[in-house]
Chain A
Amino acid sequence: MSGETGTHSKGTGLRVYAFAYLLFLYAPVALLPIFAFNDSQIIAFPLSGFTDRWFGELWEAEPLHESLMNSLFVGITSSVLATLLGICAARASTRYEFPGKKPMMGFVMLPLVLPEIIVGVAMINIIVQLGMDLSLWTVILGHVLICTPFAIAILSAAFASLDRSLEEASLDLGETRMGTFLRVTLPLVMPGIVSSLLICFTISLDEFIIAFFLTGADTTLPVYIWGQLRFPGRLPSVFALGTLMLLASLLLLTLGEYFRRRSARKTGIEHTAGGLV
């Protein structure tokens, strides 16, 4: 390859660029913990000493706790519903041939290629016309819609890598269709299901614009954060919150990856069943 002979210098040039690019990717994120521990209300350099009081403030912020609970509720409900829908669609598309398969699959994947504001606007129009009230459930309806295509993509990979002879063996040995699905198929695609749940949960937890349009009196965490960004005095504790959220999602990612590898070892599926990265 090009690194081996005459183009060696090009390789080093690229490497310098790659590290500079990583710096660019990390620059904003690196500021998050810095200002979360900085002992000043003003977000600016030079820094003025270390403090953990912004984290302390988080413990006392009642509305924050409420919006966090709301977001967890929305995230868990949406990810479970989207994954269930995703299992149906992924199973249908990888296992069966049926008329209208292509257009139907294309249509359910459509939210992937729609700007989120369009989804938000479309849903609020119908909700207003039907005279429904905005609540966390309307946010969930929107989040399930945008998470389902991701669930389908991840789960299709998991179902596609499934060895069909295992299912046929189970059927031949007298297990029912349902029994085969629950006892053979499901355990084998479990890593894909866990990945799908995690990805959908993360998308829902971070989603702002649909929640901004569809939320009622109860707000989700991003909508709460958006409200806080207008008050300069609140910024340090918002940064502290952001630091904790980053740590939590890294922990979740690592856990997800650990379980994926473990079950991949168990079932002999190698890196095919919709990994996180």
Chain B
Amino acid sequence: MTVALDEAASEAARPQTKRKARGPSDARRGLTLMSPVFGYALLLLAIPLGATIAMSFWSQDFLTFDRSGTLENYAAIWTDDMPDHWTGIFGSYWTENLYRALLLRSLSVSLFVTAATLLLAFPIAYYVSFHVRKNKGLWIFLITIPFWTSYLLRVFLWKVILGYEGVVNASLMALGVIDEPLTSINYSINAVVLTLAHAWAPFAILPIFVSLEKIDRSLLEAAEDLGDGPIRRFFRVTLPLAMPGVVAAALIVFIPTIGDYVTPKLLGGKDGLMISNMIEVQFKKGNDQPLGSALAVSSMMIVASISVLFVWMNRKYLRARPS
């Protein structure tokens, strides 16, 4: 509270451009209102994250923690050749570093999912924004309804569809298209990508739709009048103006999918498991919280750096365009 007051005082000392001469009390009220939320996030997010980072430098022997500080967890993840002979659910033929392989796989799966979701979602958002005249609200409502089903069941239902004896295989066999069930569609990375692209569809459509709706339609007419064909107009006017929505959608899809646990566990099979599955193993059966924490911190770093890259590329792209 004293900090808040000090800050309020220093705010009062600054030149004020506010409507009324309420400066200092305004700042104090704002800080007072903000303090419960900020305090909650400090206690339950900053301190736990700090503890996780600290723990990633510890080591654990059964129930006792060695807190002297070591880099061995990160070495096990990033530099060791074959640190552990993990078999079990991750398969038994690992000739490379399993932790690193899982991290890189999670990254590539979620990049694939992001690309697939955006490519599938953009035309829908475009259609609703530019071609639907009366019932835009209805379309958006229709798009969001499936998302109100339990997440677990939505993912599990894809297992019902894609499974060995699933809907797709059963129908194709009944139609005589195939003689044996297809195995490429179930328990693989493909199944994980498809399921995640489905699960996150509305989260990609909505921000793109919002940014398309904001586009001043007269700009498109101007581009047409100035001689741009529909394709050039799309790439030179519509897409750049929709870019904030596209970047928002990319982040909204990319960030949670890299840490998804349910989909790889249900649909990934041995070759489609991802880093969250390993984190869970370390925290529960594996009983190695420090290693689990180091895995979590590593994936957080990957998420953060890719997200910053997305935002930076977008800025660069927008700035490079002649206005």
Asked, given contacts A117-B259, A206-B151, whether A88 binds B120 with beta carbons under 8 Å apart, the answer is: no
Quick one: CB contact mask for A150-182 with B, threshold 8 Å, 1 for yes? 001000000000000000000000000000000
Please tell me if the beta carbons of A2 and B130 are within 8 angstroms of each other in the complex: yes
Q: Which residues of B contact A21 (CB under 8 A)?
A: 120, 123-124
CB within 8 A of B52: which of A7, A44, A122, A249?
A: A122
Q: Which residues of A contact B31 (CB under 8 A)?
A: 92, 98-99
Q: Which residues of B contact A92 (CB under 8 A)?
A: 29-31, 33-34, 37
**How far is A18 from B148 in the complex, measured between Cα atoms in Å?**
20
Q: Which residues of A contact B30 (CB under 8 A)?
A: 92, 95-98, 101
B91 CB to nearest A CB, Å: 20
In chain B, positions 240-260 with a C-beta closer than 8 Å to chain A are 251, 255-256, 258-260
Interface size class of A (residues with CB under 8 A): 35 or more
CB within 8 A of A148: which of B26, B37, B48, B279?
A: B37
B74 lies within 8 A of chain A by Cβ = no
CB within 8 A of B34: which of A10, A88, A128, A206?
A: A88
Please tell me if the beta carbons of A28 and B161 are within 8 angstroms of each other in the complex: yes
In chain A, positions 79-117 with a C-beta closer than 8 Å to chain B are 85-86, 88-89, 91-93, 95-101, 104, 107-108, 110-111, 113-117
B190 lies within 8 A of chain A by Cβ = no
CB within 8 A of B7: which of A46, A89, A99, A108?
A: A99
In chain B, positions 114-148 with a C-beta closer than 8 Å to chain A are 120, 123-124, 126-128, 130-131, 137, 139-146, 148
Interface stretch among A58-66, A188-196, A238-246? A238-246
Q: Which residues of A contact B8 (CB under 8 A)?
A: 98-99
Interface size class of B (residues with CB under 8 A): 35 or more
Q: Which residues of A contact B46 (CB under 8 A)?
A: 107
Closest to A151 in B: B37
Interface stretch among B76-84, B97-105, B288-296? B288-296
Please tell me if the beta carbons of B151 and A1 are within 8 angstroms of each other in the complex: no
Question: Could you jot down 15 A-B contacts, CB within 8 Å?
Answer: A10-B230, A28-B198, A31-B167, A89-B33, A96-B30, A98-B7, A99-B11, A117-B259, A121-B293, A125-B51, A142-B44, A148-B40, A148-B41, A238-B153, A277-B137
Q: Which residues of A contact B (CB under 8 A)?
A: 1-3, 6-7, 10-11, 14-15, 17-18, 21-22, 24-29, 31-32, 35, 43-46, 85-86, 88-89, 91-93, 95-101, 104, 107-108, 110-111, 113-119, 121-126, 128-129, 141-142, 144-145, 148, 152, 202, 206, 208-209, 212-213, 222, 225-226, 229, 238-239, 242, 245-246, 249-250, 253, 277
Q: Which residues of B contact A (CB under 8 A)?
A: 7-8, 10-11, 18, 26-31, 33-34, 36-38, 40-41, 44-49, 51-52, 55, 120, 123-124, 126-128, 130-131, 137, 139-146, 148-154, 156-158, 160-161, 165-167, 170-171, 174, 198, 201, 217, 220, 230, 251, 255-256, 258-262, 266, 276, 279-280, 283, 289, 292-293, 296, 299-300, 303, 307
